[in-house]
Structure 1
Amino acid sequence: MRLDFNYFTKLIPQDMYSRTKSHVCKYLAIFEPEEYVTGEVLRADDYHFLLFFSEGPETRINNHAYKPRRGSLLVIQPWEEVFGVPDDNKKSYDKYIHIAVEKSFFLKVAKEAAGGSEYEFIRIHNAYSKQLLDLIGSFQREMMDHGESFPLMLEGICIQIVFQLLRDLSSDTSENRSRLSKDNKYINKAIQFMQEYYSTNISINDICKLIYLSPCHFKRVFKEQTGQTPYQYLMRVRLEKAKEILREKDYSIEEAARLCGFVNSGHFSTVFKRNTGMSPSEYRKLDF
């Protein structure tokens, strides 16, 4: 594990970094820049999370565009290409918080959050919570008052911050939904539809008719908000439901496939093994 984030601070223009409030330990760093880096492609190791206090510039991650709003939380994974689009009108934006989490530390905490499995982001764009802001404040106070004199205390706070980041990004609570739903009610409606009718032969066209959006526009906006295509999200819902059924051990593989909306047991087995690394039969033999 590295002992600092010097590699990252070198990516930021020095005059900008000199005006940036920062608190850095070996597990994570919290920066409060006064402006955004735009017009440059940046790549960095580790996991990076951006918390927006107001509207931010359009941000492209691996050429996929995101338009942050007040309350938005956005994650950038290791070595993804990030590009802040310059504003032609030279619009000024308010401060934001940038959290950098050391990669091996993040993966260790995330694996526990995933119950021992490899963690996979359900969303890369959601809303941050008051709990996360409180934990950030605790980290900053600890660093200002004691530095790294109490490593167990500091590590504990950092672990809580990572857990809260993961919870905020995966949260579907009414509080988080309301903060992003003003412009994305149709996405929430689509998600609700998939969660209710995953067992039927629903299609993208069925969903688009329900929310009155063109398939092309729907796919683009859905991926912007969830980090997945509609098809990937629907498959994820079906697989999670299938795991529940397999754990009960009261249904055959064929019945589990039918109850979860798969074309047939062969298709179900192929998708299941591709996503879990084991067949449905192997999964149901596990000791839950």
Structure 2
Amino acid sequence: MGDSFQYIASNRVRFHQELHLRPRRISHYRFLYVESGSGEYRIAEESFQVTAGWLGLLAPGVRENRYFSRESVSYLFVEFQAAARLTEERAVPFPGQEPQRSALIGLLKTIQAEQADAGGCLLAAAVRLMFPEGDQGTQRRLDDRLRKVVRLIEAAPDQNHRISALAETAGLSEPHLRRLFREQMGESPKQFLRRTRMEFARRLMQHEGLRVGEVAHLLGFASVFQFSAQYRQVLGHPPSEDRGTG
């Protein structure tokens, strides 16, 4: 699912004067979290106000934005490409009462701090939090029990979850869980689990500076050889290409 997203850029911007960026065509999505201040965005002739605490998704299009000088402004953004259209709306706000709001902000801050999202795994999780009914751009509804399992795996990628335990958590038999994964995710639960864990391992090496042996130990592998074999099988190259083996 992470393959559907391509990270472009992220940053935190702070300033104390009015800012007006003239209309320009933007081909990517932007997650925006306004920490302080207020402003106005215009996308394809449709305008909307943003104030402190605004959290949402800006769609591609001819975009113009202005921030007002009445108070200092601070905002966090994460920009990315999506393989399929996520929404028909120009801007999709994420209401303050949503229970997933803090998790979404946490994901955006993590991406911003790392200045990357190799494989788009964190972006996929962020989009899922905003559009829980969608299947990463296909707009198919995920079964609630399957979504519970997916979120559990993505919330703890360092854990090598047993498929039987995941099925029990979802209240399903193992065959039923495997069938749901095949039908709605296009892969088996084992494949999804391995890919999520290996993408997490790659982020640890590329952005946290961990060595191959340290990541193998963190993810619970019995040996570096075992970890490297699975890494190559899932991502198509050895972990040494993403980080020195030390």
TM-score (norm. length: structure 1): 0.39
Q: Which structure carries more helix by proportion? A: 1
Higher relative contact order (CA 8 A, sep 6+): 2
Q: Which has the larger radius of gyration?
A: 1
Q: Which structure carries more strand by proportion? A: 2
